[in-house]
Chains A and B, each alone.
Chain A
């Protein structure tokens, strides 16, 4: 329960911090931290324009997308306190319920019959296919290391002690961060600020959404950031008491937002055709984690 509350707060500021970091890095003053939230509130108050090509799928999809992110949020733990739902194998549910949202956002893009939105849909489907194995191997390795199969138990019983485990934690952070970038359609996979439809992934899929629906999609995006940030936080805080864990949570989320802002300021987006290769690299990095875990457990004789 606590994790939902904390994540909601983090989600309020996360995107704002990213944007602020980017504007500071490029020498501008930039909008206030809460500007993304104000945008969403404004969108919720607006009417809507629907394409005449679309069907009820287009109207239903943002709702399902949002609901899927909220469901994923429910299984994410926070340190000692498990998520609203916590069970063995909840990370499988986590990945698959997010896939439900993706499925709907892809078909809603195809529903418009647009010449651009199919492009984004096609890329989204392909990238998420490539990104999922990395997540499953990572969680599998952690499950193997800790001997548990639910988020909370895995994170609670991870002991970062030896040198190999420091390396593993660093790699795991890298993988989770990159998965977060892919899932949230940020650099270096996707450029949310590009003005050319041909080079967009996520943005081009929601070209036709407006009003309440667009608000839902944006909110879901903010929540998704906090979601993956929370996973990284969990990797480090273990079962330390709340008075340390809660500040640590916000500190790490803040660091992550700043890091994303900096990455976006100083890196260019990859060529579209190189993206799949990059994402497959994540899978190999997570395999590296798996072999590291085998080393720790002395399975190599």
Chain B
């Protein structure tokens, strides 16, 4: 009880104190308060992960009813991920925001929103009362909005923020529909009512109920085609916020989907196939668009869509496994999804933090303008490289472990099955492999153009490595990435409880070889060790040998041409040119060019702007149609205040009038109820 009260009060302590503090102390206080909340929630999370789920009932109020707070292992796992990323995010943000110290008021709001966002996302993981859940969900959306628009004087930022706000509320609409449906039938806000209600529903209805929630959470998570807010919101935010948005805020959507899979009793096979198909498409589409992006942060944002897809493949497999009564498949699917959630949180926030370092040093995120940053910022480059290899799912880092588990799931699915599931398994495998290959193109391009070669553009500022304190959070994340990569078993043991929530059996994860589906992870861990040892050993030999030999430095080989300039380098666009020609049907690249002509040619120009085909079709087109329709009623919008007041009165009278006319409307409502 006391812990929860403290937890809720902490952000408001922040609200009381922050405005009165000096700029430097605001950051320190935010860090301190956040640490307290992290410790409180972390304590409960660890309890639940070790097999003692926390269950508390708050009395609530007349409106909300009893507020049950249940932190089971699933919540615990997500809370730990959230806490890790928030802590590193706060630490990173503390250094990153130093350059904005003059903007005292914005910083106060930012710090408060940060604390509140943490409190709300943790609450989302624990609260099981639909009314309060919605409030927490709304606070999460609003605080994220406030955090994104920190640089609100920039029109691009504010536009991205509003785009996010609108789409976040679409998510809330679907949530409200889902919750109202259940509340209307059961008169209870408790999530347990959803379980009892959905198990009484016929198959189709429970599927629709699940779909309501799935769409709501898919918007938050960024599944294709609900992803269009994501590539705008993430680049617009300050680096630490982008890292957290991508690392954990979109994971609230994943959490929601997993929670609904636990509490809604429905046809899991159908649901699993749906999630699987959406996920494979999300993964492919996300990475396909990521490759052609010129803005580093936007590229990373599209990669979040890809990774949400990979997590989704795991969830889909898990649901199918549960539905078909195949515990091995369910375990592998859910374990892969949950582990990849952690992994993605780690490497994506690391990527955003290092991208933030590059931004601070160079003041640009345009990949085409950068180059050779590694010589000025070797540590940042090394950290980015670790995360880049990890996100491509390459050993010996963490991404490989979770993708390996998902692959194992896919292959184990092959051994049982009808023709349909065999085909689904093989095409999902193709999807996952293609995602991996495309991710490699994307990250070799990103790393190669930003950090390697020579600068492609004269930078205005002197580019230099950031201070150690700013690198520290990145080092922490990199350390965990390596830990997961070389000691996967440690983390698999932590996963035993959350996975058993879904599968009902615990013994699959135990260490005895005969019934463990994770036996392969031990040799993989050895293999990673051997790989690391080989590289270090070989490098050592090489260094020793080279000491004895003559080592010279010369210009890069240019076929005898010696006046090479940085403009002769391969650019990001030329690196992916063949790719973008091959995949042209999926992509849109808007070109703007001025061709050289005349005897005394003037300046030529060539500019490309990648765009999202789905966004064009699903958002822009709908908006245009909507605008055209609404345009017909523009006569109402005549600019006279008196008329607007009249509209208000008409609206209020209508609202008041509806209950009076209720009897007449009843038959109409009956039709609705039938639906």
Question: CB < 8 Å: which of B403, B425, B531, B578 contacts A67?
Answer: B531
Do A51 and B554 contact each other (CB < 8 Å), given the known contacts A102-B440, A126-B441, A129-B437? yes
A300 CB to nearest B CB, Å: 7
Residues of A within 8 A of B549 (CB): 46-48, 211-212
Question: CB < 8 Å: which of B385, B452, B530 contacts A113?
Answer: B452
Is A129 touching B438 in the complex (CB atoms < 8 A)?
A: yes
Q: Does A110 contact B (CB under 8 A)?
A: yes
Is B546 touching A93 in the complex (CB atoms < 8 A)?
A: no
Is B556 touching A53 in the complex (CB atoms < 8 A)?
A: yes
Interface size on B, residues (CB 8 A): 85
Q: Which residue among B385, B394, B552 has the maximum number of chain A CB atoms within 10 Å of its CB?
A: B394
Residues of A within 8 A of B451 (CB): 55
Question: CB < 8 Å: which of B385, B411, B422, B539 contacts A89?
Answer: B411
Question: CB < 8 Å: which of B414, B433, B531, B582 contacts A143?
Answer: B414
Q: Does A60 contact B (CB under 8 A)?
A: yes
Question: CB < 8 Å: which of A60, A121, A137 contacts B575?
Answer: A121
Q: Does B395 contact A (CB under 8 A)?
A: yes
Is A113 touching B371 in the complex (CB atoms < 8 A)?
A: yes
CA separation between A116 and B556, bound complex, in Å?
Answer: 10
Is A112 touching B556 in the complex (CB atoms < 8 A)?
A: yes
Is A88 touching B408 in the complex (CB atoms < 8 A)?
A: yes
Q: Which of A37-63 contact B (CB under 8 A)?
A: 44, 46-57, 60, 63
Q: Does A79 contact B (CB under 8 A)?
A: no
Residues of B within 8 A of A47 (CB): 546, 549-552
Residues of A within 8 A of B575 (CB): 110, 118, 121-122, 125
Is A133 touching B434 in the complex (CB atoms < 8 A)?
A: yes
A223 CB to nearest B CB, Å: 13
Do A114 and B452 contact each other (CB < 8 Å), given the known contacts A96-B400, A140-B411? no
Q: Does B22 contact A (CB under 8 A)?
A: no
Chain A residue with the shortest CB-CB distance to B382: A56
Q: Which residue among A54, A85, A112 has the maximum number of chain B CB atoms within 10 Å of its CB?
A: A112
CA separation between A86 and B93, bound complex, in Å?
Answer: 45
Residues of A within 8 A of B425 (CB): 140
CA separation between A106 and B570, bound complex, in Å?
Answer: 12
Interface string of A85-123 (1 = CB under 8 A from B): 111111011001101101100110011111111110111
Q: Does B389 contact A (CB under 8 A)?
A: yes
Is B578 touching A126 in the complex (CB atoms < 8 A)?
A: yes
Question: CB < 8 Å: which of B378, B444, B523 contacts A106?
Answer: B444
Do A49 and B404 contact each other (CB < 8 Å), given the known contacts A112-B453, A144-B422? no
B407 CB to nearest A CB, Å: 5
Residues of A within 8 A of B559 (CB): 116, 197
Interface footprint category on A? 35 or more
Q: Which of B202-232 contact A (CB under 8 A)?
A: none
Q: Which of B501-533 contact A (CB under 8 A)?
A: 519-520, 522-524, 526-527, 530-531
CA separation between A289 and B504, bound complex, in Å?
Answer: 37
Interface string of A122-159 (1 = CB under 8 A from B): 11011011101100110010011001010000000000
Q: Does A299 contact B (CB under 8 A)?
A: yes
CA separation between A116 and B395, bound complex, in Å?
Answer: 29
Chain A residue with the shortest CB-CB distance to B445: A125
Q: Does B430 contact A (CB under 8 A)?
A: yes
Residues of A within 8 A of B551 (CB): 47-50
Q: Does B393 contact A (CB under 8 A)?
A: yes
Do A144 and B414 contact each other (CB < 8 Å), given the known contacts A67-B534, A107-B452, A113-B569? yes
Residues of A within 8 A of B408 (CB): 88-89, 92, 149
Do A147 and B539 contact each other (CB < 8 Å), given the known contacts A56-B378, A115-B558? no
Q: Does B448 contact A (CB under 8 A)?
A: yes
Chain A residue with the shortest CB-CB distance to B569: A113
Q: Which residue among A54, A197, A273 has the maximum number of chain B CB atoms within 10 Å of its CB?
A: A54
Residues of A within 8 A of B57 (CB): none
Q: Does A234 contact B (CB under 8 A)?
A: no
Residues of A within 8 A of B375 (CB): 55
CA separation between A108 and B389, bound complex, in Å?
Answer: 14
Q: Does B542 contact A (CB under 8 A)?
A: yes
Q: Does A283 contact B (CB under 8 A)?
A: yes
Q: Does B419 contact A (CB under 8 A)?
A: yes
Residues of A within 8 A of B586 (CB): none
CA separation between A55 and B447, bound complex, in Å?
Answer: 13
Question: CB < 8 Å: which of A66, A92, A123, A197 contacts B538?
Answer: A66
Q: Which of B370-397 contact A (CB under 8 A)?
A: 371-372, 374-375, 378, 381, 385, 389, 392-395
Give 9 A-B pairs besides A93-B404, A99-B436, A122-B579 with Cβ atoms closer than 8 angstroms: A63-B542, A113-B454, A114-B556, A129-B437, A129-B438, A133-B434, A136-B433, A211-B549, A213-B542
* 19 pairs of residues in contact across A and B, judged by CB atoms under 8 Å: A51-B554, A52-B554, A52-B556, A53-B453, A55-B374, A60-B535, A85-B523, A100-B395, A103-B444, A106-B440, A110-B570, A112-B556, A114-B569, A125-B440, A125-B441, A125-B445, A125-B575, A126-B579, A133-B437
